[in-house]
Structure 1
Amino acid sequence: MKIRIKGNSVRFRLTQSEVKQLSETGSVMETTEFEQTTFVYEVQLEPTITELQASFFENTIIMKVPKDMGIHWFDSDTVGFENRVVLTNGNQLHLLLEKDFTCLENTSEDQSDNYPNPKLQC
């Protein structure tokens, strides 16, 4: 799982096996260790919501996906989900959850579990 954060935008990208795990078990989690703490990022299926939501607490970002959408995501052609959450201060938090496609250019990153890039198909 990869995350990209820029300003008030958070994007998660999941490999095929991670999307399958999310669909089957209801969650997928990754950690990044630092000297003093561990940063956790997780995607969870949530039965009580209708749009993407996110929270940040105790060094953990949790992106919540409506369960009705997430349990069928692995078997569908849906690339991802998006939502703009209006915060209590009036600002917006842009959330994006996507399937991770292989890069079009060479990279040293292991992409063996990524989805085939649709731009490579004739």
Structure 2
Amino acid sequence: MKIRIKGDSIRFRLTQSEVKSLSENGQIYDSTNFGTIKFSYGVVLKRDVNQLHISFTNNSIILEMPETIGKAWFSNDIVTYDHIMKTTLGNNLYLLLEKDFTCLDNTIEDQSDNYPNPKLS
């Protein structure tokens, strides 16, 4: 799972096995250790949400996804889900959750579990 944060937008990208795990188990997590602080992030399926929702507490970003949509995501062709969330401070926070495709250019990262890029066919 990769996250990209830029301004008031947060993008999560999941590989094939991560989407499958999320669909089957209802959650997927990862973390980065910064010495004395651990930063965690994840995606969880929730029954009581009807669109993407995100929270940041205790050095952890959790993206919530509607359970019915998330359980079917691995078996369908939908690539992205997005939502603009109004924060308690009144700003708009853009949320994007997507399947991770292989890159078109050379990269050193392992892409063996990424979705085939449709632009390569």
Range class of TM-score, shorter chain: over 0.9
- Which runs of no fewer than 5 residues in structure 2 stay unpaired? none
Q: How does 1:1-122 map to 2 (within 5 A)?
A: 1-121=1-121
Identical-residue share of aligned pairs (%) = 56
Residue type of the partner of 1:95?
A: L
Tell me how large the CA RMSD over aligned residues is: 0.6
TM-score (norm 1): 0.97
Q: How far apart, CA to CA, are the structure 2 residues paired with 1:72 and 1:103?
A: 25
TM-score (norm 2): 0.98
Q: 1:88 offset after TM fit, Å?
A: 2.1
Q: Deviations over 1:41-88 (max 9, x none)?
A: 010000111100000000000000000100000000000100000112
Q: How far apart, CA to CA, are the structure 1 residues paired with 2:6 and 2:114?
A: 23
Residue type of the partner of 1:24?
A: E
